[in-house]
Structure 1
């Protein structure tokens, strides 16, 4: 299977390629505005349809990760529209013209982020009674979240009104971290390393509580993408990208049922950061 990864040089893209890039079943290429050391890459922005279109020829599946994610302070609506909304439309157009079967789209938990805003920090408690699944009302917490929701709807529109792509998977990714911080203490430890707080602080404890709930380990991310690449049952569907954390409020039973998703990691199993 020939797989094109857009935005391959980012944290999620590098994690996917590290986890499943050497599988005999797949041949990966990449499209990005930055180079990638380990993979053939087309240097282009998803905002430029003519530049990206040739990269889709001969491709069976696209993992679309390219994104503008400015955070909550500097939400540049014009840039978000150009890259996230317009860029994803270009990816879908190219997939249609090149007759690509599947598009796996990197959506975000921020399309339902207001649940966390409303209930935090209580929501980080494993005993808090809330589970958000693919049928619950969307509640974006940012312009970025709104753009990703627009992309999900555009993906559905394309697969239901065109012969190609045949399948669209909206993966609402939770917390994927760099290899050094790929554990439930990762955000807390990074804050210590950056000098933002100390290990015995309340903020350290808060960061641990949150990531124990939202952690999506690189190993489980790779497993989820592999299940989607191998699937032929979905036309359009939404899944939450999170490990089997005891404290998660995002549903994974749907992914288990449809994709046979079998996560290996649980943030609750950690009682401290890894030792050097």
Structure 2
């Protein structure tokens, strides 16, 4: 499909949203920024909307006239079920309803590796984790991302809204843990993947993993590559320093044994 010109970026004040609002304009996008938190350093020419996902009138106004939506908004760590329900589940439903009402036909949904968090991580010669592995959410947060993927599937089948759900690993300028060496996505690779997801000629609901081409990669990136994504970065340059500081992952440690890492402990251990 042709590159969308105007993209609504929800969660634009968050960590990932801040990174993407700085990188995506170089791909030719005009960004419309949406967040409940004020955005004081928005790129020149972008429109800023300060509102909550629960405000359906404001959300519909934000969606009106855009070519596509990148949905990053919501709670990105574990929280109480009530808070996750309001922000991640009801908020995502409100967004899809606004898209349906306004005729938007492409959404990129920020899903998460925590949809399959209790999947054992690969070790030794184990194969990479495929995109079709059964979902095993590790938290209410992961559960909300499972809901978002299913909602995207429903709206694709019922209403013709095409969604690419990206099961993001950890998108930061540099990995901060040994676990993150396997799931890290550089901001630049993140922008490459989101651009591919916004423009790839796919229909229906597509799910991909999102990370860089890490030497210690745990999951299969071929579905993302099928969109046209070509990752250029690798976390291995950070490995020696992180391993010297934290040690190698211990398969006997519940926070190291599964894909979701510390999210698989009760309560989840931070940082992750």
TM-score (norm 1): 0.80
Deviation per CA, 1:25-64: give whole Å up to 9, x if none: x111111111221142111111221221101111110000
Give the counterpart of 1:183 among 174, 178, 181.
Answer: 174
1:265 aligned onto 2:241: no
Deviation per CA, 1:230-260: give whole Å up to 9, x if none: 1222321100011101111111011112x02
Give the counterpart of 1:231 among 185, 188, 200.
Answer: 200
1:145 aligned onto 2:145: no
CA-CA distance at 1:172 after TM superposition: 0.5
Q: Which structure 1 residue ranges, 5 or more long, are not aligned?
A: 188-206
Show structure 1 runs of 4+ deviating over 6 A: none
Deviation per CA, 1:3-26: give whole Å up to 9, x if none: 0000011111111122222333x1
For the Cα contact (< 8 Å) 2:181–2:239, is it kept in 1?
no
Give the counterpart of 1:2 among 3, 6, 13.
Answer: 6
- What does residue range 65-80 of structure 1 map to in structure 2 within 5 Å? 65-71=72-78, 75-80=79-84
Secondary structure of 1:134's match? coil
Structure 2: distance between partners of 1:240 and 1:51: 31
Give the counterpart of 1:82 among 79, 86, 93.
Answer: 86
Structure 2: distance between partners of 1:242 and 1:107: 12
Structure 2: distance between partners of 1:229 and 1:273: 35
Secondary structure of 1:22's match? helix
Q: Which structure 2 residue ranges, 5 or more long, are not aligned?
A: 243-272
Give the counterpart of 1:109 among 105, 109, 113.
Answer: 113
1:18 aligned onto 2:18: no
CA-CA distance at 1:273 after TM superposition: 5.8
Secondary structure of 1:29's match? strand
Structure 1: distance between partners of 2:8 and 2:125: 39
Give the counterpart of 2:164 among 169, 173, 184.
Answer: 169
Deviation per CA, 1:194-226: give whole Å up to 9, x if none: xxxxxxxxxxxxx2x212111111010000011
Length, aligned pairs only: 234
For the Cα contact (< 8 Å) 1:183–1:273, is it kept in 2?
no
Structure 1: distance between partners of 2:87 and 2:13: 16
Aligned to 1:203: none
For the Cα contact (< 8 Å) 1:7–1:64, is it kept in 2?
yes
Structure 1: distance between partners of 2:61 and 2:144: 26
CA-CA distance at 1:272 after TM superposition: 4.9
Structure 2: distance between partners of 1:14 and 1:148: 21
Secondary structure of 1:62's match? strand
CA-CA distance at 1:69 after TM superposition: 3.1
Give the counterpart of 2:69 among 62, 72, 75.
Answer: 62
TM-score (norm 2): 0.81
For the Cα contact (< 8 Å) 1:4–1:28, is it kept in 2?
yes
